[in-house]
Structure 1
Amino acid sequence: MILLIAFALFFAWGWLRARRAGGRTADRLRYGLIHGLAAVLVIYVVATLGDWQGFFN
């Protein structure tokens, strides 16, 4: 659930950045997807490595 919320927030942030830069719909979708997926990937990696190393147990 947290990953879904993070994706939505960062997707919106990327969408707004592209909109301010004058991007059209394809640019907005691309920026949104890149920002959303990058954020989810970072959160997932940190949580997985932290759990594996025993940091979050």
Structure 2
Amino acid sequence: MTDQTPEPTGGEDAARAAARRRRLAEVFGEVLPDTTTDERPTPAPIDSSDDSWYQENRPPHHGT
């Protein structure tokens, strides 16, 4: 069996696609961020010489 619906014209197809994108945005919100990680400034490096995180998260059975 073949589909009996007429093929949409370019304008109808574009309008239908735009309406679909609007509905998806209403439900799911904006999926893509405004900027990507390569467009954002690089954060300052974390000082890895500080052992405070390791001391704070040391399991009790490891002693002092």
Give the structure-2-normalised TM-score.
Answer: 0.34
Q: From the CA coordinates, give the structure whose radius of gyration is larger.
A: 2
The structure with the greater share of residues assigned to helix is 1
Give the structure-1-normalised TM-score.
Answer: 0.38
